[in-house]
Amino acid sequence: MKLNTKISTQVYGCLLLLPAACLLVLFTHYPVLETLKSSFFTTPRGLREAAFVGLENYSMLLEDDVFWQVLCNNAIFSLGTIPVSVALALIMALWVNGKLPAKSWVRAAYFTPTILPMIAVANIWLFFYTPQIGLVDKIVTALGGASHNWLGDPATVLPCLIIMTIWKEAGFFMIFYLAALQAIPPELQEAARVEGAGRWYFFRRVTLPLLMPTTLFVFINATINSFKLVDHLFIMTKGGPDNASSLLLYYIYEVAFSFWDTAYASTLTIVLLALLAVLAITQFVFIERKVHYQ
């Protein structure tokens, strides 16, 4: 009788899990394995079936200048967006957590870009960067500068996208800092005041160390995010000029759906997944450690 209920409970638990398991296998685990498999084969074309080529796609990748350029772009994009947006996020969080007049308006202003779709953001910012009629050029020429094709110049296109991305992302990271700040017991602040500690001292010696786990979490999330963010490229640059603004995920999309080379796209996807896996595992290890500390 008792054994019977135990088994029926187990069966019940498995049944509850079944729908989610089927979907996860179909759209996550199976595609990952299939992607890995495809990366060792040629792209099937017409009647010609995929042929096993071993690591040929990977050696092609090592010699593909565009791949290296895109990877380099992605590194610049990450290095350009992450430190600034995380630093801004912390400053924003400190401000809206303090005694700032019109605080809810300020917080709304910081957070609003997060709510907007990247496509809408790109539509608006594309106009800012348009030569001659765009707002940036209007300001530059009014100050005596020369008109410039901001998104058409390989030297300025990435910085332009980086600035826009910082604007889009900082408010989102602010939320994590805000949550962490609100978890800091107010007694600490009072104790510090009694001891006569200054605000800057308190921030450096108490707040900042307490925010370290959040900072790590935000940093790694931001890095993972910077490898996923490509929507704006569809509107603003299409990865151009000369691949100067293309990022890894966008390149995968192009290889797969413009050149229809699914085998090579799979190879690139494996590289992206490996990168993200390393980042996610790093995150996991650090968060584990954070749990141990408490």
Partner 1 sequence: MQKGFWHYLEWTAAWLLAALWAAPLLYAIWGAIHPGEFTTHFDLTAPLTLENFREAWNTAPFARYFLNTFMYVSMTLVAQFIICTLAAFAFARFEFPGKNIAFMLVLVQMMIMPEQLIVKNYEIMSSLNLVDTIPAMGLPYIASAFGIFLLRQTFKQIPLELEEAARVEGASWLGVLLKVYVPLARPTYLAYGLVSVSHHWNNFLWPIVITNSVTTRPLTVGLAIFGAPESGVDFPVIAAGTLIAVAPLLVSFLLFQRQFVQSFMRAGIK
Among 61, 70, 82, 122, binds partner 1 (CB under 8 A): 122
Q: Answer yes or no whether residue 285 interacts with partner 1 by CB under 8 A.
A: no
Q: Answer yes or no whether residue 274 interacts with partner 1 by CB under 8 A.
A: no
Q: Answer yes or no whether residue 127 interacts with partner 1 by CB under 8 A.
A: yes
Q: Answer yes or no whether residue 82 interacts with partner 1 by CB under 8 A.
A: no
Residue span binding partner 1 (CB under 8 A) among the ranges 15-23, 46-54, 57-65, 73-81: 15-23
Residue span binding partner 1 (CB under 8 A) among the ranges 46-54, 55-63, 79-87, 169-177: 169-177
Q: Answer yes or no whether residue 67 interacts with partner 1 by CB under 8 A.
A: no
Among 45, 205, 228, 289, binds partner 1 (CB under 8 A): 228
Closer Cβ to partner 1, 95 or 202, answer by number: 95
Q: How far is the CB of 166 from partner 1 (least distance, A)?
A: 10
- Torsional class of 291: left (φ above 0), alpha (ψ -120 to 50), beta (otherwise): alpha
Q: Answer yes or no whether residue 119 interacts with partner 1 by CB under 8 A.
A: yes
229: CB partners within 8 A, 6+ apart: 118, 165, 247, 249
Structure tokens of 52? 């096993």
Among 40, 67, 110, 219, binds partner 1 (CB under 8 A): 110
Q: How far is the CB of 119 from partner 1 (least distance, A)?
A: 5
Q: Answer yes or no whether residue 176 interacts with partner 1 by CB under 8 A.
A: yes
Whether 225 contacts 173, CB under 8 Å: no
Q: Answer yes or no whether residue 147 interacts with partner 1 by CB under 8 A.
A: no
Q: How far is the CB of 115 from partner 1 (least distance, A)?
A: 5
Q: How far is the CB of 9 from partner 1 (least distance, A)?
A: 6
Q: Answer yes or no whether residue 133 interacts with partner 1 by CB under 8 A.
A: yes
Nearest-angstrom CA–CA distance, 212 and 181 = 11
Residue span binding partner 1 (CB under 8 A) among the ranges 69-77, 104-112, 187-195, 201-209: 104-112
Q: Answer yes or no whether residue 141 interacts with partner 1 by CB under 8 A.
A: no
Q: How far is the CB of 209 from partner 1 (least distance, A)?
A: 19
Nearest-angstrom CA–CA distance, 93 and 110 = 10
Residue span binding partner 1 (CB under 8 A) among the ranges 47-55, 62-70, 172-180, 189-197: 172-180
Q: How far is the CB of 72 from partner 1 (least distance, A)?
A: 20
State the DSSP string of the chain. Answer: -HHHHHHHHHHHHHHHHHHHHHHHIIIIIHHHHHHHHHTTBPPPBTTBPP-B-TTHHHHHHHH-HHHHHHHHHHHHHHHHHHHHHHHHHHHHHHHHHS--TTHHHHHHHHHHHHHS-HHHHHHHHHHHHSTTTSHHHHHHHHTT-----TTTSTTTHHHHHHHHHHHHHHHHHHHHHHHHHHTS-HHHHHHHHHTT--HHHHIIIIIHHHHHHHHHHHHHHHHHHHTT--HHHHHHTTT-STTTT--HHHHHHHHHHTS--HHHHHHHHHHHHHHHHHHHHHHHHHHHHHHHH-
Residues 242-271 that bind partner 1 (CB under 8 A): 249, 252-253, 256-257, 262, 265-266, 269
Q: Answer yes or no whether residue 62 interacts with partner 1 by CB under 8 A.
A: no
